[in-house]
Amino acid sequence: MKYVTTVRLAPGVENVKKAFEVFGKVGNAEGTQALYAGTDGKTFITVVESDDPDMVTAATYAPFFESTTIMPVVDVDDAWINAMVTAIANMDG
C-alpha cells in the first residue's frame, strides 16, 4: 500500500529549527519513495510504500506539525482504469 502524507509545520522559528535537527538525525520513514517541500516552506508531502503506516516516525515528528493528513493511494494502472470503466458503466443515469 502507498500512503501520501501531507504535513504542515507548526509556527515558530524554534519549532522549525528543532524539526530540521530531528530530521537530520532520523531522516525519512522506511519505504519513502518521494519527499516534496511546498513553496511556502511549511508544507511537506511524502509518498511512502509500506504494509503499515510507520507510527514511530509519525510520533517522532508529530510535535513539530500543526496538521497531518494521511491518504492511502493506489497506482492508476490498467487494472484501476478497467475497474473504473466497469464501475461507471454500472452507474444509474
- The residue ranges of every structural domain in the chain are 2-89
Does the model's pTM come out above 0.85?
no
Could you say which architecture CATH assigns to the domain 2-89? 2-Layer Sandwich (3.30)
Q: How do residues 44-74 score in pLDDT, each as one tens digit?
A: 999 999 887 677 788 888 899 999 998 999 8
Q: Which helix (H) or strand (E) holds 71?
A: strand 65-73
Q: Comparing C-alpha atoms, which of 13, 2, 21 is closest to residue 60? A: 21
Cell of 57: 516516525
**Helices within the chain (DSSP H only):** 13-26, 55-61, 78-89
- Whether 21 contacts 7, CB under 8 Å: no
Answer yes or no: is pLDDT of 9 > 80. yes
pLDDT of residue 37: 93
- Whether 83 contacts 59, CB under 8 Å: no
For residue 39, list its beta bridge partners: none
